[in-house]
């Protein structure tokens, strides 16, 4: 990773300022002599446990001004399964965009979009895009593929043993599926792919997880698979790990475009020219020009995919609806495409291959997050799939709104009026 001298020289100047080599060594070296004061940790969220942590924190006078904002003696027992070392809560404002009309495989209707954010202008933008899509009759949505993966890996003392092991795995896939099935009523192993590098073998295990996002579920199932393998394989690996970073978990990867992690969804909408002019104050042609230039800019800067700002809607909806916010790193990967149709209308499409979302388990059972999910009125059957289609529709609304704003030349003024000057 390159560091430019002229831009960053002042950091090294600060590091060496008023220091000899010995002083610098002393400042940066590890210190095992100073006493380490243990924090009263644990998973308890009852009043006694939380107050004990605050008693520790309040020994530092600077923390007193934060106590009331983070914790006022409220009952935090609902969070006990979701947090460790709990000291309170952080309040993030929640707004609603939409409703947005979705005509999908699983999501059919007009859906509100609860979004938790501290960024002014964000919900206004998604609301505008949602209204425009709905006025155009709604967006079509299809869930193309589904699967949550884990990638255990095994090291052998030779390629020959690796070949024997991989052949055994392929012959015993049904038994591995049974081992996974014993861990959950909903987790099912649907496929195993094999990749090798020298004497290292990676198994990419793909699961379905019902309405749960399923990260923990597939980890437990993969552990069971690996334990079955170790107990029965004719060739023992020298060592193995339940996850070896080949699954794409919580990172953007090229693998996103050849596989799926979570739910892969495509959405599209045709917007008549008169609606573009009315709501976005620009033309379909200028929006296509802006999208094309932005797409090339993304290629030149090396982005993973072609899109404007999926992370804005996904982060806001993930936080509001109890999803794993870190999964935005992989979920905000995809492709946006705009085209000018022969009748002058604007065609817009978004494809998201890595929507790790769920409507049960994890943070979805917390009071505020459950309220946001229920507000959306998702169908009772295939609820997580419907939620994924709505998330993709929200991303489409945001892409249309931001490109429209840039094409109309009001991107800066909108942020100035809604954020800085408000």
One-letter-per-residue 3-state SS of 350-401: EEEEEECCCCECHHHHCHHHHHHHHHCCCCCCCHHHHHHHHHHHHHHHHHHH
Terminal CA-CA length for the chain: 40
Question: What's the average model confidence in pLDDT over 77-95?
Answer: 92
Is 127 one of the annotated active-site residues of the chain? no
173: left (phi over 0), alpha (psi -120 to 50) or beta: alpha
d(CA 101, CA 416): 30
- How much of the chain exceeds pLDDT 90, in percent? 67
Looking at 56, 66, 119, 243, which residue is catalytic? 119
Q: Given a cut of 80, is residue 217 above it in pLDDT? A: yes
Q: Quote the tokens at residue 251.
A: 């990172």
Q: Given a cut of 80, is residue 419 above it in pLDDT? A: no
Delineate the domains of the chain, giving CATH numbers in brackets: 36-91 (no CATH), 95-145+264-420 (3.90.770.10), 152-241 (3.30.70.420)
> 15 or 206, which is more confident?
206
Q: Quote the tokens at residue 101.
A: 């009309």
d(CA 357, CA 372): 14
Looking at 268, 324, 339, 410, which residue is catalytic? 324
The reported pLDDT for the residue numbered 30 is: 81
Q: Given a cut of 80, is residue 17 above it in pLDDT? A: no
Q: Quote the tokens at residue 276.
A: 């573009």
> 213 or 343, which is more confident?
343
The reported pLDDT for the residue numbered 3 is: 67
Are the C-beta atoms of 153 and 194 separated by less than 8 Å?
Answer: no
Closest CA to 388 of 348, 359, 347, 349: 359
The reported pLDDT for the residue numbered 397 is: 97
Is 200 one of the annotated active-site residues of the chain? no
pLDDT band at residue 27, thresholds of 50, 70 and 90? confident
Q: Quote the tokens at residue 368.
A: 């505020």
The reported pLDDT for the residue numbered 420 is: 63
Looking at 56, 66, 309, 415, which residue is catalytic? 415
What residues are paired with 94 via a beta bridge?
A: 116
Are the C-beta atoms of 70 and 87 separated by less than 8 Å?
Answer: yes
Is 14 one of the annotated active-site residues of the chain? no
Phi then psi dihedrals of residue 261, to 5 deg: -140, 105
């Amino acid at each position: 990773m390159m560091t430019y001298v002229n831009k960053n020289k002042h950091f090294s100047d600060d590091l060496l300022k008023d220091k000899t080599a010995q002083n610098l060594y002393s400042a940066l070296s590890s210190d095992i002599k100073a006493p380490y004061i243990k924090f009263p940790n644990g998973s308890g969220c009852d009043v006694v446990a939380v107050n004990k942590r605050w008693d520790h924190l309040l020994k530092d006078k600077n923390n007193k001004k934060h106590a009331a904002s983070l914790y006022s003696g409220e009952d935090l027992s609902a969070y006990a399964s979701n947090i460790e070392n709990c000291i309170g809560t952080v309040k993030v404002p929640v707004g609603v965009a939409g409703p947005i009309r979705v005509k999908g495989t699983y999501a059919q209707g007009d859906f509100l979009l609860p979004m938790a954010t501290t960024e002014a202008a964000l919900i206004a933008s998604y609301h505008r895009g949602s209204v425009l899509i709905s006025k155009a009759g709604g967006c079509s949505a299809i869930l193309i593929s589904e699967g949550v993966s884990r990638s255990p890996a095994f090291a052998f003392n030779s390629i020959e043993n690796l070949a024997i092991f991989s052949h055994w795995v392929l012959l015993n896939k049904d038994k591995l599926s049974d081992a996974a099935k014993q861990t959950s009523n909903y987790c099912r192993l649907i496929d195993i792919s094999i990749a090798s590098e020298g004497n290292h073998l990676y198994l990419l295990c793909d699961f379905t997880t019902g309405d749960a996002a399923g990260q923990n579920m597939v980890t437990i199932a993969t552990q069971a698979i690996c334990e079955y393998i170790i107990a029965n394989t004719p060739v023992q690996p020298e060592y193995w790990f339940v996850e070896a970073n080949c699954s794409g978990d919580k990172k953007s990867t090229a693998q996103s475009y050849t596989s799926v992690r979570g739910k892969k969804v495509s959405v599209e909408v045709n917007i008549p020219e008169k609606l573009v002019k009315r709501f976005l104050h620009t033309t379909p042609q200028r929006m296509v020009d802006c999208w094309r230039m932005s797409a090339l800019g993304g290629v030149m800067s090396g982005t993973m995919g072609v899109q404007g700002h999926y992370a804005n809607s996904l982060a806001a909806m993930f936080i509001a609806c109890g999803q794993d916010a870190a999964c935005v790193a992989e979920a905000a990967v995809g492709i946006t495409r705009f085209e000018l149709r022969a009748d002058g209308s604007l065609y817009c499409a978004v494809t998201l291959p890595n929507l790790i979302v769920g409507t049960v388990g994890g943070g979805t059972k917390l009071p505020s997050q459950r309220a946001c999910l229920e507000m959306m009125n998702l169908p009772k059957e295939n609820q997580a799939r419907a939620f994924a289609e709505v998330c993709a529709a929200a991303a489409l609304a945001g892409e249309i709104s931001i490109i429209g704003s840039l094409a109309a030349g009001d991107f800066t003024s909108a942020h100035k009026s809604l954020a800085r000057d408000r």
